[in-house]
Amino acid sequence: MIKNDLFLRALRGETVSRPPVWMMRQAGRYLPEFMAIREKYDFFTRCQTPELASEITVQPIRRYGMDAAILFSDILVIPQAMGIEVQMKPDFGPYLPHPIRSKKEVDAIRVPDAAEALDYVMQAIRMTKEKLADEVPLIGFAGSPWTILCYCVQGQGSKSFDKAKALCFSDPRAAHALLQKITDTTIDYLKAKVRAGVDAVQVFDSWGGMLSPEDYQEFSWHYIQQIIDALKEDTEVIVFGKGCWFALGEMAKSGASAIGIDWTCSARNARYLTGGKITLQGNFDPARLLSPPDEITRRVTEMIRAFGKDRYIANLGHGILPNIPLENARAFVDAVKNFKE
């Protein structure tokens, strides 16, 4: 039994004394203790070494006492497990030297045994669960198949992911074959994570908001729904699609336990578009953590009032930025923990 089960209770829609709080990318570069590890080990060493990944995961919990931990890892471990080379270049981000651009290249990709190929993640989960000692729940995550396709095809980050979209729109059969392979791998991976001990999973659709509503259904949502269907009996599933306000109605009916909201969608719009009954998570603008701490406290309190304290998980609307002062991150977490109706 988890001692602080606020997060799980909010996911189940139960009445709570205050909303739970965590921050996307809370194990990140704004923390000096994270930077100390980052100076010594490169990105994939940190991901692939269970001692490091588990240590990084619990760092923000020790400092701020969030109500949930999220396993330090990366969405691109999935293409790596599928045999696609992924590099993390300093000051550049992910770089895939052999991007997938044709049906033939898609056909050559294998669907691995994800539990085996990503055993280091499972070890990191078990080690993190020991360190957390049932104090708070642990979240596991994966990228959405569309978001993973974006990197596999584009080969790097992009403002428009034009090459990824070019494959979808000029050769939809190739795109769908790739999406299905990514989906199958992701389901296998998330099921293994649940067996290893995570208490909930979150699917990040970082680039879903680049698609029109119709294309989103075809190239992104169709596959996220497969993941939810495969996982929802085993664990709580949170879906977060950045810029995907137009799909919130569909998401609310999907069987997911909660829907992540970004800061461009007001609490009122989010409740309206999701039908008012499902747990929502979000949606503080990460850049608003650059406001003075007093203002952060005021704005967080307003945000909770706008969403309502129940069926709500306080979070940012995207990952925390590297340049956020420590006291500002604290103001965010504490404002939620001190919330009174």
**Rounded distance, CA 18 to CA 339, Å?**
6
Among this protein's residues, is 126 annotated catalytic?
A: no
CB within 8 A of 62, min separation 6: which ones? none
**Rounded distance, CA 293 to CA 17, Å?**
24
**Rounded distance, CA 206 to CA 12, Å?**
25
For residue 254, which amino acid is it?
Answer: S
- Contact residue for a second copy among 123, 217, 291, 297 (CB under 8 A): 291
DSSP conformation class of 150:
H
Touching a second copy, residues 204-223 (CB under 8 A):
209, 211-215
Q: Which of these is catalytic: 30, 151, 216, 312?
A: 151
Among this protein's residues, is 38 annotated catalytic?
A: yes
- Contact residue for a second copy among 41, 43, 95, 263 (CB under 8 A): 263
**Interface characters, 166-205, with a second copy (x: CB under 8 A):** x--xx-----------------------------------
**Interface characters, 222-261, with a second copy (x: CB under 8 A):** ---------------------x-xx---------------
> Token pair for residue 315?
């979070």
* # residues contacting a second copy (CB under 8 A): 32
- Contact residue for a second copy among 192, 198, 265, 335 (CB under 8 A): 265
Query: CA 95 → CA 174, 188, 304, distances in Å?
Result: 21, 25, 38
Q: Is 102 in the site for a second copy (CB under 8 A)?
A: no
Among this protein's residues, is 18 annotated catalytic?
A: no
Residue 183's H or E segment, with its range, is helix 172-196
Q: Is 17 in the site for a second copy (CB under 8 A)?
A: no
For residue 317, which amino acid is it?
Answer: G
Q: In the β-sheet with 200-205, what is the strand arrangement from edge to edge?
A: 69-70, 138-143, 200-205, 236-241, 258-261, 279-284, 312-316
Catalytic machinery residues: 25, 29, 38, 74, 151
Residues that bind a second copy (CB under 8 A): 157, 159-160, 162, 165-166, 169-170, 209, 211-215, 243, 245-246, 263-266, 269, 285-288, 290-292, 317, 321, 323
